[in-house]
Structure 1
Amino acid sequence: MYEDYWNLQARPFENTAIPAFYYPAESAQGTLLKLRYAVENRRGAALLTGGEGLGKTLLAQLLLEQLPEQFTPKVHVVFPYMPADQLLAYIVRELVGVEQSATSTIADSVQAIRRGLSENTRAGKHAVLVIDEAHLVADFNALETLRLLTNLETDGMLDMTLLLVGQTEILPALKRAPAFETRLAVKCMVKALTADETASYVLHRLTTAGARREIFVPEALERLHQITNGAPRRINRLCDLALLIAFAEEQSVISAEQIEAVHEELVAVSTD
């Protein structure tokens, strides 16, 4: 709607995991390095956690894209909130391409995964399984089943790396499952953006979308960081709405006062 007004080729603040809009903040880059280490060295499991809206899913997708071709198959489970048997049946289908019957047990699914991954390992490959929103795996049996998958190995090599991605609510659950926690070769905590990173993040996304001039004045970026605490999802929401309103009001730039007004409008709507 507002792209032509701001001379943009795309909407810069969509809350979707688009790699081209990835901003290499220090915390994010360090996290990617650690996760690549875990996968490329065939570790059994790793953890990526952090608060809501900090870009964990995008980091997981970038990791999968950056891995060398021998790291396959790569499966990304985005909604794991299901009983252990259903979760495992889904993983079997996505990971080794085997459709389980309605009467298949957890043991049947584990055996199907074992056979498929063993063949994969002997072919010189290594599987990667990402469980996103892992804090939703509240079923202890499901968590324990995932742990058992990290034991699978062929000829002395682990068949798969499991990456758990979730909000910090997953940490207490892992503490109650010490056998699982000890298998985590790497534990990463994504941090919010600093004030300088917030400004660079906004500029990066605008430039990627085609912007060639200043749109948010420096004071607006400072206020944006204060309001959002450096959380990318909140930054995206506020910036997107600010661009829309400034377009409707035919403003040439976005000021700190406009950022504040948009924020107050969002707060008012959410509390009514």
Structure 2
Amino acid sequence: MYLEHWQLADKPFEPAADERFYFASQTHQGAMLKLRYALENGRGAALIAGPSGVGKTLLVEQLLAQLPASFVPVVHLVYPQMPAREMLAYLAARIAPNEDPQGLTPSVDQSWRRLEESLQGAAERDERPVVVVDEAHLLEDAGTLETVRLLLNLQQHGSPLLSIVMVGQPPLLSTLSRTPRLEERLDISALVEPLTVDETASYLQHRLAAAGAERNVLTDGAVDTLHQLAHGVPRRLNRLGDLALLVGYANGASMVDTELVRSVANELAFARAA
């Protein structure tokens, strides 16, 4: 709707995982290097933690896209609160999809044997399955942290047959500190933090440029205000930035300034309170 007004080819603040818009802050780069090292060197478990909206999922997607073709299959566990029996059945079905039994959910023993056989076969083919556990800070409530630890016991010559990447919010760190038997199995731990003021400016500029902007759209004051209101969290920056462009278009503004950003933020606050 506002693309022509701002002379853009695409919307710059869409939440979709488009690699053109990916911006790596200092902590993103550090986390990427650690995770890639862990996976490419056959490590069993890695952790990435950070507040909601800082780009953990997008970072992991970028990482997986860069890995060699031998890292298959990649299984995303997006509902970590499922019981252990269902979790093992889910993983077995996706690591060995051609052997999926019909009928009721298999027992823990059945799923475990299937996982053992499938992972051994993958190792013989020089393949490396990867399991990404989203919202991993919820594992404790589901009582499945021990299940994750036991998966790392599936080994060959002392090395795990799969890699597990746990992605969660900061409480995951304290959760693991209360679970030392799993914590000691972690090979890599990385923390992704909100953007600094300078990184916010670079982030906004990068996304606008990727969307085709050839002129300044945001005033310096608007950038500072966006950072202050969003606390450097990319998801919040995207939401505020998108709505600011829309309202600026509706108002016929030539640039997005501080007053416009604050007006948009007040509207969002009112909508949340309604």
TM-score over 0.5 for the pair: yes
Match of 2:10 in 1: 10
Across the aligned residues of Structure 1 and Structure 2, the Cα RMSD in angstroms comes to 1.4
SS at match of 1:39: helix
Q: What count of residue pairs does the alignment treat as equivalent?
A: 272
**Following TM superposition, by how much is the alpha carbon of 1:194 offset from its aligned partner in structure 2, in angstroms?**
0.6
Map of 1:134-145 to 2, 5 A cutoff? 134-139=136-141, 141-145=143-147
SS at match of 1:138: helix
Task: Say which is worse superposed, 61-70 or 233-242, in terms of deviation.
Answer: 61-70
Could you say if the C-alpha distance between residues 106 and 191 of structure 1 is closer, same or farther in structure 2, counting changes exceeding 3 Å? same
Match of 2:221 in 1: 219
1:52-104 Cα offsets, whole Å, 9 max, x none, are: 11001001111111111222222222232212211221111122213244151
**Following TM superposition, by how much is the alpha carbon of 1:153 offset from its aligned partner in structure 2, in angstroms?**
1.4
Name the amino acid aligned to 1:125.
Answer: E
Match of 1:271 in 2: 273
1:170-195 Cα offsets, whole Å, 9 max, x none, are: 22322222111101101111011010
SS at match of 2:215: coil
The answer for unaligned runs of 5 or more in structure 2 is: none
Match of 1:241 in 2: 243
Name the amino acid aligned to 2:226.
Answer: L
Map of 1:144-155 to 2, 5 A cutoff? 144-155=146-157
Could you say if the C-alpha distance between residues 229 and 103 of structure 1 is closer, same or farther in structure 2, counting changes exceeding 3 Å? closer
Could you tell me whether the CA contact under 8 Å between 1:21 and 1:208 is conserved in 2? Answer: yes
Selected match of 2:182 from 180, 183, 194:
180
TM-score by length of 1: 0.95
Match of 1:231 in 2: 233
SS at match of 1:129: strand
Match of 1:207 in 2: 209
- Structure 2 distance, partners of 1:248, 1:84, is 52
Match of 1:58 in 2: 58
Map of 1:67-78 to 2, 5 A cutoff? 67-78=67-78
- Structure 1 distance, partners of 2:146, 2:18, is 32
Name the amino acid aligned to 2:100.
Answer: E
Could you tell me whether the CA contact under 8 Å between 2:81 and 2:142 is conserved in 1? Answer: no
The answer for unaligned runs of 5 or more in structure 1 is: none
Could you tell me whether the CA contact under 8 Å between 1:117 and 1:160 is conserved in 2? Answer: yes
Could you tell me whether the CA contact under 8 Å between 2:217 and 2:255 is conserved in 1? Answer: yes
Name the amino acid aligned to 1:105.
Answer: S
Name the amino acid aligned to 1:91.
Answer: L
- Structure 1 distance, partners of 2:152, 2:8, is 46
Match of 1:132 in 2: 134
SS at match of 1:110: helix
- Structure 1 distance, partners of 2:138, 2:184, is 20
Match of 1:161 in 2: 163
SS at match of 1:245: helix
- Structure 1 distance, partners of 2:206, 2:254, is 19
Could you tell me whether the CA contact under 8 Å between 2:11 and 2:211 is conserved in 1? Answer: yes
- Structure 2 distance, partners of 1:138, 1:177, is 9
Could you tell me whether the CA contact under 8 Å between 1:83 and 1:139 is conserved in 2? Answer: no
**Following TM superposition, by how much is the alpha carbon of 1:140 offset from its aligned partner in structure 2, in angstroms?**
5.2
Matched-pair identity in %: 43
TM-score by length of 2: 0.95
Map of 1:16-165 to 2, 5 A cutoff? 16-97=16-97, 98-100=99-101, 101-139=103-141, 141-165=143-167
